[in-house]
Amino acid sequence: MIRVSQPVTGPEELDALKRGLEKAYFGHSADVVELEKALAEFLGAGSRPVVCLNSGTAALHLALACLDLEPGDEVLLPSLTFVASFQAVTAVGAKPVPCEVREDDLLLDLDDADKRITPRTKAVMPVHYAGNPGDLAGMHAWAKARGLRVVEDAAHAFGSSFGGKKVGAQGDLVCFSFDSLKNITCGEGGALVCPDADTARRAGLMRGLGMERPQATQGGPPSRSAYDVVCQGWRFHMSNLNALVGLEQLRKAPAFFARRQKIAKRYDQALAGVPGLALLPMDYERVVPFLYTMRVLEGRRAGLVEHLKAQGIETAVNYPANHLHSLYRGLASAPLPVTEKLCGQILSLPMHCALTDQQVEFIIAQVKSFLG
Ligand SMILES: Cc1ncc(COP(=O)(O)O)c(C=O)c1O
């Protein structure tokens, strides 16, 4: 089976894990701090600190926790996203307000979001679907004009840019995922890029159960048992094992990004104009694709999925609409017909760095042979 998504690791990650295991300490450590610094440098984040966490979901959760939302405060977000975005909102006691996405690029539809704003709306969570941050400047201007904070769900967008700067290097709170399938992986992991040092300090406390330890004095680390608990927190810290894997993956990131972009460009070139397909308008000079998602029109998706499966090609639907899940039914203040239609059309082809050129050509040929 050609997998739709898979990580690529090598002897470097194995060595890193061995070094980590030999330390006989796997919690928050200097390796995590090193990864935070390396990520900030890679992103060109300047004075925006990076806080590493054990998942992208934890990054979203802590970003929202930093906004001091009250129960019942509302967060606008696209219904078309991974459920982690929704769970993070409810985890802090706020209400997710599902919005439409635009039909062509599957990004948050701000005209629709506008209609769902109420006096309780406090934040917006754009999701950079498939790696595309869209018009980030326009998004931030829109939010600023409405007094909303912005939590970017950039789980898909590590490495992508807007306006010559990487996602994360600008904006408000930006959340990345480094789970096993993402553009780089820590095994599991995530990162929150904060707008300032104060927010990073709060996020740093919250990821460690709210425990504040006295600063190290001369002569060694502070005692592990001397701490005060100063705020609600969670056990969201990243393990040094994951950080060591992440540091190796970060070294490989430019090669990974180039490979993903090459595959996506080839898909675009070969599938443009195929009847019954609508491709997403992507600029792969600035977008690093996490997914290669297309729309299969005329009710032909199920047939294409079966055909590809029979040829040993796995595909995925990213994602079912969240407002239709049992837990979230009733949250939408108005119907979401565009999202519901799109959820019947979207299909993701294999996209990862273990794909060979021959496999890419085989996938293209099979898509074309089915759609004629
Ligand atoms: C859009 C989106 N947001 C958040 C997440 C959560 O990231 P993690 O799996 O690291 O918790 C994912 C993971 O797939 C995602 O796709």
pLDDT band at 219 (very low <50, low <70, confident <90, very high): low
pLDDT of residue 348: 98
In the predicted model, is pLDDT for residue 226 greater than 90? no
Q: What tens digit of pLDDT does each residue of 287-304 get?
A: 999 999 999 999 999 999
Residue 58 CA, ligand 1 centroid: distance in Å: 9
Query: What average pLDDT does the structure give for the chain?
Result: 96
pLDDT of residue 213: 86
Closest-lying ligand 1 atom to the alpha carbon of residue 177: 10
Residue 182 CA, ligand 1 centroid: distance in Å: 9
Residue 183 CA, ligand 1 centroid: distance in Å: 12
pLDDT of residue 217: 55
Helix, strand, coil share of the chain (percent; to 5): 40, 15, 45
Residues in the chain: 372
What is the mean predicted confidence (pLDDT) over 43-58?
A: 98
Residue with the smallest CA separation from ligand 1 atom 8 is: 56
In the predicted model, is pLDDT for residue 218 greater than 70? no
pLDDT band at 222 (very low <50, low <70, confident <90, very high): low
Closest-lying ligand 1 atom to the alpha carbon of residue 318: 16
CB 153 within 8 A of CB 81: yes
In the predicted model, is pLDDT for residue 215 greater than 80? no
In the predicted model, is pLDDT for residue 124 greater than 80? yes
Q: What tens digit of pLDDT does each residue of 131-160 get?
A: 999 999 999 999 999 999 999 999 999 999
What is the mean predicted confidence (pLDDT) over 341-369?
A: 98
Domains in the chain, ordered, with CATH?
11-251 (3.40.640.10), 253-371 (3.90.1150.10)
Residue 56 CA, ligand 1 centroid: distance in Å: 5
Residue with the smallest CA separation from ligand 1 atom 14 is: 82
In the predicted model, is pLDDT for residue 223 greater than 70? no
Closest-lying ligand 1 atom to the alpha carbon of residue 190: 10
More confident residue, 218 or 129: 129
pLDDT of residue 372: 85
Tokens linked to 252: 């490989």
Residue 82 CA, ligand 1 centroid: distance in Å: 6
Nearest to 207 by CA among 95, 65, 48, 37: 65
Stated as kind and residue range, the H or E segment containing 149 is strand 149-153
DSSP 322: G
Q: What tens digit of pLDDT does each residue of 2-38 get?
A: 999 999 999 999 999 999 999 999 999 999 999 999 9
Active-site hit among 165, 182, 309, 368: 182
In the predicted model, is pLDDT for residue 224 greater than 80? no
- b/e per residue 74-94 (b: at least 16 CB within 10 A): bbbbbbbbbebbbbbbbbbeb
- Ligand 1: residues within 6 Å at CB? 55-57, 81-82, 84-85, 127, 153, 155-156, 177, 179, 190
Closest-lying ligand 1 atom to the alpha carbon of residue 153: 3
pLDDT band at 216 (very low <50, low <70, confident <90, very high): low
CB 210 within 8 A of CB 230: yes
More confident residue, 372 or 236: 236
- 182 carries an active-site annotation: yes
Nearest to 48 by CA among 184, 188, 154, 120: 154
What is the mean predicted confidence (pLDDT) over 252-275?
A: 98
What is the mean predicted confidence (pLDDT) over 50-78?
A: 98
**Where are the extended beta strands (E) located within 200-357?**
211-212, 228-229, 277-279, 292-296, 346-349
What is the mean predicted confidence (pLDDT) over 125-134?
A: 98
